[in-house]
Structure 1
Amino acid sequence: MHAGANNDTDSSTAEEYMAQLELPQASWLQKRHAVTSQKNVWTFWNKGWKAMHPWAQRNVINWVRKLGPDWTVHVLDAVPESETHVKHFVEPSFFPEAFNNGTMDGLFVGPHQGDLVRLPLLWKYGGAWMDVGTLLFRHLDDIWWNRIIDPASPCELGGFAVEFREKYYTMLNGFLVCQSGNPFIKRWHDIYLSLWGPSTTNATGFHKHPLLAHIKAIETPSDRVIEDPEMITAVDVMLDYLAHFLCLERLRGLSDPNDGFDGAEYFATKIFLAPAMQELFALQPLTQWSGNEQNSLLRTRLDDPQDEVWQKANAYVRDAFANQSAIKVSRGPKNPKLVCLAELWDQEEFKDADHGEGTFASYLRYGSIHYDQTRDLVPMVLERSENTLKLGLLEPLKDLMQ
C-alpha cells in the first residue's frame, strides 16, 4: 500500500481479527514438514513451540497467513525426541559437541543455539530465516526473494543492515533470505562453528578468539544515544553475545588465497541490504529504546481520546504499514535498566498486550496480514572494504605476524 493510503479502522477491525486467532496453523506448525521447494521460512525456539511465548506464536501464525501456501514455515527446536528437532533437517557435523549432547550453558543458550542452526538450514534448503520476534508486514517475495531468483539480478543474499560503528554498516542475522548452496552463508557458519571447541559449552570469551581478536569493537545503535552509562551493556558481554556478527565481519574482511573467495567483494556486490532502523526498528528511536513506552503506545485504544500519545501511536502504525518490512521485537543481553518490549510481553501481566482488543497493537496485527505495500525495497549502496586480509578462512591473523 502507498504511504498515503487510507487505513482508517475502528474497534470492529480488531474484533474481526481476534475472532480469527484460533487457527489450525498452530497445530500444523508443531509437526515436521517435508522440504518441497526453496520457499521455506526457518525459525527456531530451543525449548519448542509450547514453550514459546504466546505473542511470538502469534507472530509465526501470522507468517503463515501472510505468505500463503507457496511458502512453508518450519518451526524447529532442540527438545530431545521432538519430531521438529533440528537434527531431522541438519546433520550433527554442522554443530559442536555441546549442541549435539545438550550441554550448552551460560547466559545465551537459546540465542546461540539459534546462531548455530540458522545458516546450515539456509545453506542446505534455501528460503528465509526469521527470528520468532518478527512481526512481518511485507510478503517475502517482495523482500529480496524475487530478485534473488532472477537470473539477471546480481543479488544472491538479502538482509538488513545496521550501523555498528559510525557510518559503518553490517548485516543483521535475524532476517536473511537466500537460495540453497550460498557460498557466503556456508563460510560464515564454518567460522562460527570453529569457535566451539570439543569442550566449549558457551560463548564466554569468543570475541577474544584468535579468529576474531583483530575485529574492531562494535556497538549497538542504542549505545550511541543512551546517555546513562548504567543502561549500556558491558562491552565484553555484548561482544560475546554478538560473536555471530563478529564472524560475519571476519568473512567480510577476507580474501581467501586458498579458494579465491573474496568476502569483501561478495558483501559489496552480491548482498542486497536495506536499512534496518527504517525497515525493522523504527519504533526504537521513536521511543528512545524504552520498552515501557512502546508497550504503552501499542496498548493505546483506537477509540481513546486523540491526545498526544494517541497521535504518536497512530502515526507510527500508519508508517509501519506503508514503510516497514517488519517489526523486530528484540531482547538482547539482559540489562536491569533497559527494559525491552519482548521482556514485557513475556510477562503474565502483558500476555495479551500484543493483540489487545481495540488497541493499536491489534490494528498492527490486522494490517500486517491484510495490507500490502507497493513501494520498492531499494538496496543500500555500501562501498567495498579496502582493508581486505589475504587470509585463509580459519587462519588466525596472529600466525601471519609471527
Structure 2
Amino acid sequence: MGSLNYPLPRGLHAIPPESLDTRPDAEVDRDISRPKPVSGEKNVWFFWHAGYGAMHPYTKRNVRAWHRRLAKRGWTVRVLDRAPGSPCNVANFLDVSDPRAFPRAFADGAVRGRYAAQHVSDLVRWPLLLRYGGVYADVGLLQIGDLDRLWNETVADPASPFEVLSYNVNGGLANYFLACRAGNPFFERCHRLFLALWAEDGGKTSTDGMHASPLLKGAPLMSSSATIQEDGNTIGPDKVQKMLSDYIVQGQATLMVMGLVDDEDGWDGPRYAADHIYAIDYMVGSQLINEFTNWDGKKAFELMSLPLPKDGEIESAEQKQAREIVEACLQKSFGFKLAHGLIIRVFRYTLGSLWRDHEGSDDVPGTYAHWLRHATTYWNQDELPPALRFPVIEPFKRGPLLREE
C-alpha cells in the first residue's frame, strides 16, 4: 500500500491540496526558523529551549504538520527558544526582565531542577497568550482535529460564550494545549498566581515543594495511583501525587483559579469554567493510544511500527489492534500527546520516548505510525469534538487570589 493511499476512515475528509503548504521540508523549516512579525491572533506557539534546529526529528515532523495544515488558513507557527542570537528567542517577543511577565529565575537563566527545561517552557505560555493570543502547544502534540474551525466557532466568534480552549483533565486543564484571545481574564489570573508561587521564599529557582504553598491551599493535588521504583526504593502514590503536582504546578495554579471566588475582584472561577471554557475530554481527546495499550509504551511502539497488510495478505491480530488504534484516534481524538517527562519515571517507556530513541521509526511509509502521520497533515475531521463541560463546583477558596489562607 503506497504512503499516499491509506484508508480514509469514516468521519474524515481529505484537505484540498490548495489549502495545504506542500513545499519540501527544508522550505517549511526555513519559514518556521524565521518567524514573521505578529500581526494577529492566529498564532501557534511552541517552545524548545535550544531552538527548532535542535529538536528531535519526530517533533519537527509534529510541528511541520501544524504548519502545513494551518499556514494557508492564516496561522503562523513559531517555535520560540532561549538560544543566544536566535530570531526566535523569547526576548524578541516579550520583555523577559518584566517581573509582571517572568520570575527572576527565568530572566537570569537560573531555573534549576530535574525538569528545568519543561518549567522554562511552562513560564513562556501564558505571557505569549496574554500578549498576542492564539494557541500554545507542546512540541510533542500531534494535531488531529480541525483547530481552525474550532477556533473560529468558539473564542474568535463574538457570539460564542467560550473564551478558552484546552483539554479537561479530571476537572482541571492540560497545559500542553491552551488557547485564548489576547488579554484573557482567566489566564491573566492564573499567571499572576503562577508568578507569586515563583516569588515565594525570596524567589524560587525550581518548582520543588510548590504544591504546599499556602496560595494553593484547598486545591486538590494531581491524582495518581502510580508508584515509582528508583535505586531499589519504592516511591508510593502519596509522594508521587506531590511530585506530579510540583511537576505540573502550572496546572495547580489553573485549578486554583477555576475554584476561586473573589468578590472584591468580581471573579467567580467555578462559573467562568462552566460558562467560558471549551475543554475536550483529555483521555479520548489526547491520550487514546495510551488507553488502548494500557500505558505500555513499548507495546504502542511495536504496534505503530508494524506494516499494514499488503494486497491479498490477511490482517494479523496485532495489525488489527494497530488499525483499530489509528482509526479510533483519527475519528475520536482531537490530538495525541507524546509524553516524555515525569511519566518516564513511572512507565519507563512511552511512544514518544521510543520514537525519539529510534530515529525515523515514526516515519516509515506503509506502517501504522506513518498512516497516523499522513492523516495529521493531509486529512481533517468532519465534526468538532464535544466539550466535557465543567460543573459549577463549590469554591476551593473565597477571597483575594494572592491572599494566603
- Report the TM-score, using the length of structure 1 for normalisation: 0.87
Shift of the alpha carbon at 1:37?
A: 1.1
- 1:120-131 aligned within 5 A: 120-131=127-138
- What residue number does 2:360 align with? 352
- Partners of 2:374 and 2:52 in 1: CA distance: 23
Is 1:381 aligned with 2:381?
no
- What residue number does 2:70 align with? 67
Is 1:33 aligned with 2:36?
yes
- What residue number does 1:89 align with? 93
3-state SS of paired residue (1:29): helix
Is 1:273 aligned with 2:279?
yes
Shift of the alpha carbon at 1:377?
A: 2.2
Shift of the alpha carbon at 1:337?
A: 4.5
- 1:130-169 aligned within 5 A: 130-163=137-170, 169=171
- Partners of 1:341 and 1:215 in 2: CA distance: 31
3-state SS of paired residue (2:45): strand
- Partners of 1:279 and 1:188 in 2: CA distance: 23
- The 1:317–1:7 alpha-carbon spacing in structure 2 relative to 1, beyond 3 Å, is farther
Is 1:58 aligned with 2:61?
yes
The one-character-per-residue Cα deviations of 1:75-123 (angstroms, maximum 9, x if unpaired) are 1011223221111111222111111111111011111111111011111
- The 1:326–1:250 alpha-carbon spacing in structure 2 relative to 1, beyond 3 Å, is same
Selected match of 2:300 from 274, 286, 294:
294
- What residue number does 1:15 align with? none
The one-character-per-residue Cα deviations of 1:136-185 (angstroms, maximum 9, x if unpaired) are 1123122344221222211111111122xxxxx21111111211110001
- Partners of 2:347 and 2:131 in 1: CA distance: 41
- What residue number does 2:18 align with? none
- 1:193-232 aligned within 5 A: 193-197=195-199, 198-220=202-224, 223=226
Partner AA of 1:297 in structure 2: L
- What residue number does 1:331 align with? 340
Shift of the alpha carbon at 1:336?
A: 6.2
Aligned residues with identical type, % of pairs: 30
The one-character-per-residue Cα deviations of 1:276-324 (angstroms, maximum 9, x if unpaired) are 1111111111101011011111101013651111001111112222221
3-state SS of paired residue (1:239): helix
- Partners of 1:258 and 1:332 in 2: CA distance: 39
- Partners of 1:376 and 1:49 in 2: CA distance: 30
Partner AA of 2:193 in structure 1: I
Query: How many residue pairs align between the two structures?
Result: 375
3-state SS of paired residue (1:148): coil
Shift of the alpha carbon at 1:68?
A: 2.7
Is 1:44 aligned with 2:51?
no
- Partners of 1:236 and 1:138 in 2: CA distance: 33
Contact 2:261 2:270 in 1 (8 A): yes
- Report the TM-score, using the length of structure 2 for normalisation: 0.87
Bigger drift between 193-202 and 84-93 goes to 193-202
Is 1:340 aligned with 2:344?
no
3-state SS of paired residue (2:327): helix
- What residue number does 2:404 align with? 396
- Partners of 1:107 and 1:303 in 2: CA distance: 43
- The 1:290–1:266 alpha-carbon spacing in structure 2 relative to 1, beyond 3 Å, is same
- Partners of 2:247 and 2:29 in 1: CA distance: 31
The one-character-per-residue Cα deviations of 1:182-233 (angstroms, maximum 9, x if unpaired) are 000111111111111254211111111121143222225x749xxxx77968
Shift of the alpha carbon at 1:5?
A: 5.5
Partner AA of 1:345 in structure 2: W
3-state SS of paired residue (1:372): strand
- Partners of 2:130 and 2:173 in 1: CA distance: 17
- Partners of 1:315 and 1:370 in 2: CA distance: 20
3-state SS of paired residue (2:215): coil
Shift of the alpha carbon at 1:44?
A: 0.5
- The 1:108–1:145 alpha-carbon spacing in structure 2 relative to 1, beyond 3 Å, is farther
3-state SS of paired residue (1:177): strand
3-state SS of paired residue (2:295): coil
- What residue number does 2:178 align with? 176
- The 1:33–1:341 alpha-carbon spacing in structure 2 relative to 1, beyond 3 Å, is same
Contact 2:43 2:134 in 1 (8 A): yes
Contact 1:142 1:377 in 2 (8 A): no
- What residue number does 2:374 align with? 366
Partner AA of 2:222 in structure 1: I
- What residue number does 1:242 align with? 248
Contact 1:39 1:126 in 2 (8 A): yes
- Partners of 1:106 and 1:280 in 2: CA distance: 27
- The 1:336–1:289 alpha-carbon spacing in structure 2 relative to 1, beyond 3 Å, is closer
- Name structure 2 gaps, 5 residues minimum: 1-6, 15-21, 228-233
- What residue number does 2:289 align with? 283
- Name structure 1 gaps, 5 residues minimum: 9-18, 164-168, 398-402
- Partners of 2:24 and 2:302 in 1: CA distance: 23
Partner AA of 2:120 in structure 1: Q
- Partners of 2:346 and 2:156 in 1: CA distance: 44
